Structure 1
Amino acid sequence: MKHTIIIFFPVVLFVLSFSSCTPKESQICSKNAYQFTATDTSWKQLSLREKIGQTMMITSDYYAHLQVGNGSLEQFFNKYPIGGMFMAQWHFMYNKPDDLLFEEFIPRIIQEYNDASKFPLFFSEDFERGTGYLYNTGTKQPVLMTLGAANDTALAYTYGQILSQESRALGINWLLHPVADLNMNPLHPLVIERAVSDKETIALPILRAQIRGMHQQGVVSTVKHFPGDGATIRDQHLITSANNLSFEQWEQTFGKVFQTLINDGCPAIMVGHLQFPAYQTQTIDGVLPPATLSKEIIQDLLKTKMGFSGVVISDAMNMGGTAGFYENPLERSIECFIAGTDMILWPDLAYMDTVEARILRGEISMERLDDAVERIWAIREHFNLLEKQSQIIQTLPENHAEFAQKTFTELAEKSVTLIKDARNDIPLSPEKTKRIFIANISHNDHRAEFQVLKNELIARGFEVRLEHDMHLHKWEWRWDTSIVNYDKYIVAFENHYFNPIGSPFLKDAEAYSLWTIKELPKEKVIGISFSNPYYNTFYLEPNPLLINAYSSDEFMQKAVVKLLMGEIKPTAVSPVELYHTNMK
């Protein structure tokens, strides 16, 4: 496929005008950036394929790797000396030994990979909601926005500490976390409660504390998604997203977040599939490429102007946000590397073969490869990952479970947010409102999760019914027999990010369920969002009692009941603007 790259020179002059970096002109400046330096130079003795392997974070397709190595992981690494492995649980849904739980199987194969590799490996995962959402031995942590609502840096530090301890107990030493995006646009389908806040003033102290907690446990953190998502309504999984702020707006918000974390010494930054029209001038076939394919964003802005000396890692290159710019994910991965990314997330093994061939033909420079490997080596040195260790699975502290329970209970109670209680309904009392109907409004049926909410209310003397999919056409005829005799109706919203994929707002059956609820007396309806913080004020604005809980983990459900019963006092302030102009 032939591509045309166009450069608009007048705008380039505008961009370069910021390079002087004086404090009065710009928040973005390289002079205070933390410098990662590889004092160990043994990376220079790596073979060409070994160097390329350091730039790869492939998925853990264990059985495919055994096949490539003729039944041996050692032979696999001889052919493909990979440096990093994303532990993709989906590879083992149907190919896992039946007598082993994921919690046993994943650490076992991590140890096998590590033993077979010549070099110590990076093992990565996201774990944005804690290890417990994939592994039953872990903790289902409240989402990041709860930290913004609690606005407590000590809790943020401990949040990162616990997450990292549980990751190391599985063998994970690199987390693609935390999300440093700002959810400026409430219509965004992906960032939402993954973000700490929509304001950099709230997000920055929380992010800095959380990262310190992660590093204290020896885990590599990854700040994502540069240059910052959450300003538009685009989902990078489906299409190329964008940061549509002016450069001045960006440097005061997203830019300030990233520059501060760079100055603090964040070791890795993930570039997103995001355009940045205020900075970019070069196009591919007339279209601005995403940051993952943009030298302007990676080399000029992030590495040079902002002085980032750590590892630039891509987001997954099979996402829709990069599609259409080059022929296939392999070509997109290679162009991402050429643009300045140091580590490619989820490349095919053919990436190594192709990059090797193109370097040997002089199509890709050795300087580009050496720059990437030296950066990766500096991170290895910084996090003690230059020498192989016989045992990489770390044991949790003796009191870990109790410590995690105490920490996240405190976080939940400090973050549950009372939006309004116009009729002073709190505290609820089983003497006055004995019968409670919980309506779970969500795309997927979350009644199993909401048993915690139901049982907490029952334990306090209420009679509780829990239902899902209250489609108007299924329920309207039941008014007289099934619904009207309840004293209170709790609307439990739960459509968290990426579940389902697409628009963040209610569709089809869930929208009809809302219609059913809207027919009830508003003074009887309590709106509680266990996900999207904008649901209550958008869908239930007239209702007198509204609460935001941000996630449906057991800690937040229990905190909600304590708030309703008057057992705790609300102290949280919403970390996002709930009455945003985009919602009008």
Structure 2
Amino acid sequence: MKKEWKYLLETPYHLEEEDVEWVQNTIQDMTVKEKAAQLFIVMNDKKEEDKVKEFLQDYPVGGIRYRNMEKEDVMLQNQMFQKYSKIPPFIAANCECGPNEVYKGAPFIATEAELGAAGKSSWANQAGAASGEICREVGVNWTFSPIVDVYLNGKNTIVNSRSYGDDPDQILELSKAYIQGVHEHPVLCCAKHFPGDGVDDRDQHLVMSVNDQSCEEWDQTNGKVYQELIDEGLETIMAGHIALPSYCKKLNPKLTDADILPATLSKELLQGLLRKKMGFKGLIVTDASHMGGLYGTMPRQELVPRVIEAGCDMFLFAHDMEEDLNYMIQGIEKGIITEERLQSALEHILGMKAHLGLHKKQGHSRDTASEQVSRQYAQIEEEIADGAVTLVKDVKNYIPVNPKESPKVRLYFLTNAPETRLQKGNPVKEMVVEELERAGFQVDVNESLYEMEEKEVSPGNIPKIMKKPSIREFRESYDVVFIVVYMHGYSKENSVRVKYSFEHSNEIPWFNCEVPTIGISLNFTNHLYDLPMLKTYINAYAPTRACIRAAIEKAAGKSEFKGKHNDTVWCGRWDTKV
């Protein structure tokens, strides 16, 4: 065995010599096309066996990710990808909130912000264990989680509810527990988004975002998290389309601002900081290559091979598979990707596959999870929601509101506009109404312009959404107002803000000083930035029945608030606190 292969016997690979020989021999037997294709993880939409077989013959890729599908379809597809791959592939899923994205109907456990508010590592561990179990059930062997971004900018909505919070020590505690849970099953974890999102308030899906921390600040926050996870054996890291100018310039003083590139293209960050300074020996994968933060850097023909040459080992997704594969092959043939760098990337890829034992059990998947297990995870979801829902603000002591003494509720539900004309109704709003009524309230629901237009497109809808009753009438009609906010999504705008369905809408809290008003967020934690006038505000962290029920029951005084918030909820403003 060559000396340079010895690291595959060590953390995080822990291979036996026979496994290293498989890695060596496999790489030696690969054609240039096979080597180039092995660098890709692609998004799969093929279910028919003949199409899967044909695709893998044309493009012998290193891994796949797929869109949320029925459980049976996922299992069959993954079995086919193992069956027809010459080298067993990675099969990846996003398990940021538990295994809910592995297949339709899989359990949702909790958002990372919810786990951060609850603050119990045992719950993070259970979220990881659920993810690992459900992944292995259908043949998934890699989860692109946990997210370990240190959330420092209260105006950022890209990672907001997807981050454990602003405390590096708590992030380490929860991410370690999550990883330990996943590792109860032979599934890889991937910490993301190196070098750290949550500092800029812009979305790397749309633009290269910038982590503008100093080297010292980074070492104490994001760097601290990554270093400790690396030291504990972290297998894979996802590089974001996020720049870190301070370290780039420290490691290469000749760089100007115009030379700064995102981590995915930065030798300084990948090879200088992550590999050399921090000692990471595992696999580096890019974040999605169709994101604006990468597209905006250079022509795709250049960036495809340069991502690998910079230090990434795998390239996530393709703009056009035939075109991108040709770009990668050309990059190899022209020497943009050096022989040494290509060899290293393939060693990391195959070494991690051997770490999973994929070379010994190709085609392996199993179906062992039962309805009983799913019920167990549903119970965990409820327990976490009870421990996480947070009373951020109650300066006028509106909480608790007793439904027997104050039964008459007016509900304003603020959410995004429908994305297509096919979108009818709002199941989250329906759950809110059901849970308010379940708690004993009499609910009168305000209609948004979207809902009016869904029923009937009419010029009369605009004056209707702007119309407000007299103050006297409103105060006589309602004891309390609930304004429930479910703004969601990213990759459409850089920061998702509270929006009303029309200008001068009756949804704007004109009633806040007239009737006790309680705000509840079902997603982002930073809505006080747009709703500072609210005197009572609750963060519920997720649009699930468990979180909605917990928030309403706690508002009604049926159970205590247990969750903790951090200072990012104030968005750096004094007026959000009063």
Give the TM-score, by structure 2 length: 0.85
Q: Deviations over 1:87-126 (max 9, x none)?
A: 135xxxxxxxxxxx73332322222222111222211122
Please tell me whether the aligned partners of residues 205 and 491 of structure 2 are also in contact (alpha carbons under 8 angstroms). no
Mapped partners of 2:339, 2:272: distance in 1:
19
1:82 to 45, 61, 69: 61
Contact 1:491 1:525 in 2 (8 A): yes
Matched, 1:376 2:313: no
1:298 and 1:181 mapped to 2: Cα distance? 17
Query: 1:36 aligned to 2:36?
Result: no
Deviations 1:328-348 (A, max 9, x none): 2x4322110110100110032
Q: Deviations over 1:417-445 (max 9, x none)?
A: 01233444333322211111221112246
> Does residue 180 of structure 1 match 2:144?
no
- Flag the 1:579–1:75 CA change in 2: closer, same or farther, 3 A: closer
CA contact (8 A) 1:142 1:556 kept: no
- Offset from partner CA, 1:378-410 (integer Å, 9 cap, x none): 322222222234441432155212211111111
Alpha-carbon separation, structure 2, partners of 1:453 and 1:508? 18
Distance 2:274 2:562 in 1: 38
Cα distance change on mapping 1:354 and 1:327 into 2, 3 Å: closer
- Alignment CA distance shift 1:578-1:362 (3 Å): closer
**Inter-CA distance 499–447: structure 2 relative to 1 (3 Å threshold):** farther
Aligned ranges 1:334-349 → 2 under 5 Å: 334-347=305-318, 348-349=321-322
Q: Distance in 1 between matches of 2:506 and 2:182?
A: 40
1:177-213 Cα deviation digits (max 9, x unpaired): 1111122111123111111102212211111111111
Distance of 2:530 and 2:51 partners within structure 1: 57
Corresponding residue for residue 430 of structure 2: 451
* Partner in structure 1 of residue 25 of structure 2: 45
AA aligned opposite 2:432: L
- Residue 563 of structure 2 corresponds to residue 572 of structure 1: yes
Further displaced range: 200-209 or 572-581: 572-581
After superposition, what is the alpha-carbon deviation per residue over 1:481-505, rounded to whole angstroms, capped at 9, x for unaligned? 9855121111111113418633221
2:148 and 2:164 in contact (8 A); partners too = yes
- 1:358 CA drift (Å): 4.0
Q: Which residue of 1 aligns with 2:294?
A: 322
CA gap 1:72/1:540 in 2 versus in 1, 3 angstroms = closer
Counterpart CA distance in 2 for 1:494 and 1:506 is 9
Map 1:33-112 to 2 at 5 A.
34-36=11-13, 38=15, 39=17, 40=19, 41-46=21-26, 47-48=30-31, 49-62=33-46, 71=50, 73-89=52-68, 102-112=70-80
Matched, 1:442 2:442: no
Aligned ranges 1:163-562 → 2 under 5 Å? 163-281=131-249, 286-328=258-300, 330-347=301-318, 348-397=321-370, 399-444=372-417, 447-469=426-448, 474-480=464-470, 483-484=474-475, 485-498=477-490, 501-507=493-499, 509=501, 512-513=504-505, 516-521=508-513, 523-535=515-527, 537-562=528-553
Distance (whole Å) between structure 2 residues aligned to residue 499 and residue 376 of structure 1: 29
What amino acid does structure 1 have at the position aligned with 2:115? L
Change over 3 Å in CA distance of 1:500–1:353 after alignment to 2: closer
Q: Kindly tell me: are residues 542 and 365 of structure 1, through their superposed partners in 2, closer, same or farther at Cα, counting changes over 3 Å?
A: closer
For residues 73 and 569 of structure 1, what CA distance do their matches in structure 2 show?
53
Q: Name the residue aligned to 1:94.
A: none
Match of 2:22, as an amino acid? S
Residue 416 (structure 1) shift: 0.3
Rounded Cα–Cα distance in structure 2 between residues aligned with 1:182 and 1:434: 41
C-alpha distance in structure 2 between counterparts of 1:475 and 1:416, whole Å: 31
Match of 1:528, SS? strand
Of 485-494 and 37-46, the range deviating more from structure 2:
37-46
| Aligned mates of 1:372, 1:207 — CA distance in 2 | 26
Q: What is the distance in 2 between the residues matched to 1:398 and 1:134?
A: 16
Q: 43-52 or 546-555: which moved more?
A: 43-52
- Root-mean-square deviation (CA, aligned residues, Å) is 2.8
What is the one-letter code of the residue matched to 2:121? T
CA apart distance, 1:451: 2.1
Residue 541 of structure 1 and its aligned partner are, at CA, apart by 3.4
State whether residues 295 and 339 of structure 1, in contact with CA within 8 Å, keep that contact through their aligned partners in structure 2.
yes
Give 3-state SS (helix, strand or coil) of 1:197's partner: coil
What one-letter code is carried by the residue in structure 2 that aligns with 1:395? Answer: T
- Give unmatched runs, 5+ long, in structure 1: 1-32, 90-100
1:401–1:511: structure 2 CA closer, same or farther, 3 Å change rule? farther
Q: Structure 1: which amino acid aligns with 2:339?
A: M
CA distance change for structure 1 residues 79 and 322 in 2, over 3 Å: closer, same or farther? same
The 3 A distance-change label for structure 1 pair 506 and 546 is closer
Once the two structures are TM-superposed, the CA of residue 316 in structure 1 deviates from its matched residue by 1.1
Pairing 1:1-40 to 2, within 5 Å after superposition = 34-36=11-13, 38=15, 39=17, 40=19
Q: Secondary structure at the match of 1:503?
A: coil
Q: More displaced, 225-234 or 458-467?
A: 458-467
Cα distance 1:291–1:473, how it changes in 2: closer, same or farther (>3 A)?
farther
**Counterpart for residue 457 of structure 2:** none
Are the counterparts in 2 of residues 416 and 556 from structure 1 also a CA contact under 8 Å? yes
**TM-score w.r.t. structure 1 length?**
0.85
CA distance in 2 between partners of 1:120 and 1:258 (Å): 29
Aligned to 1:10: none
Partner of 1:92: none
The letter of the residue matching 1:561 is I
Q: 2:147 is paired with a residue of what secondary structure?
A: coil
**Greater mean deviation of Cα atoms: 294-303 or 454-463:** 454-463
Change (3 A) 1:173 1:396: same
CA contact (8 A) 1:196 1:575 kept: no
Range with bigger deviation, 49-58 or 544-553: 49-58
**AA in 2 matched with 1:474:** K
Residue 278 of structure 1, CA deviation: 0.4
**Local SS of the residue matching 1:256:** helix
Q: Is the 8 A contact 1:37 1:378 kept in 2?
A: no
